[in-house]
């Protein structure tokens, strides 16, 4: 039982806080949107089309919609890379 408790403590100390996950997610989304704005060919084509489809009168509203699209894409395509690594490496 002592060994099991030790293993549980190791697992608990090795988990990421949900607040930290939010910070990481925000950083990833911000970076992907920066890539989309500055070098869109690196962004996965289906994500690029999704983000490019956002049309809004207000820039803040458009940015928030783009953020949400990237978050949703990440959630539904967790095994899909957000960037085209071959293009990035060959460029």
Average pLDDT along the chain, 91 residues, taken 10 residues at a time: 82 76 91 94 92 92 96 87 76 66
pLDDT value of position 20: 80
| Spatial distance between the Cα atoms of 7 and 71, rounded to a whole number of angstroms | 33
pLDDT value of residue 53: 94
Chain mean position to CA 44:
12
CA 7/CA 15 separation, integer angstroms: 13
Is residue 15 helix, strand or coil? coil
Which token pair is 9? 């403590």
Per-residue model confidence (pLDDT) at position 81: 84
From CA 8, how far away is CA 24, in angstroms rounded?
Answer: 25
Are 16 and 23 a contacting pair, CB within 8 Å?
no
């Amino acid at each position: 039982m002592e060994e099991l408790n030790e293993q549980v403590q190791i697992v608990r100390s090795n988990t990421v806080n949900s607040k930290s996950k939010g910070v990481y997610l925000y950083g990833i989304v911000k970076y992907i949107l920066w890539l989309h704005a500055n070098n869109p060919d690196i962004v996965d084509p289906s994500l690029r089309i999704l983000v490019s489809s956002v049309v809004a009168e207000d820039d803040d509203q458009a940015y928030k919609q783009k953020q949400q699209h990237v978050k949703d894409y990440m959630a539904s395509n967790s095994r899909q890379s957000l960037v085209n690594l071959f293009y990035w490496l060959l460029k």
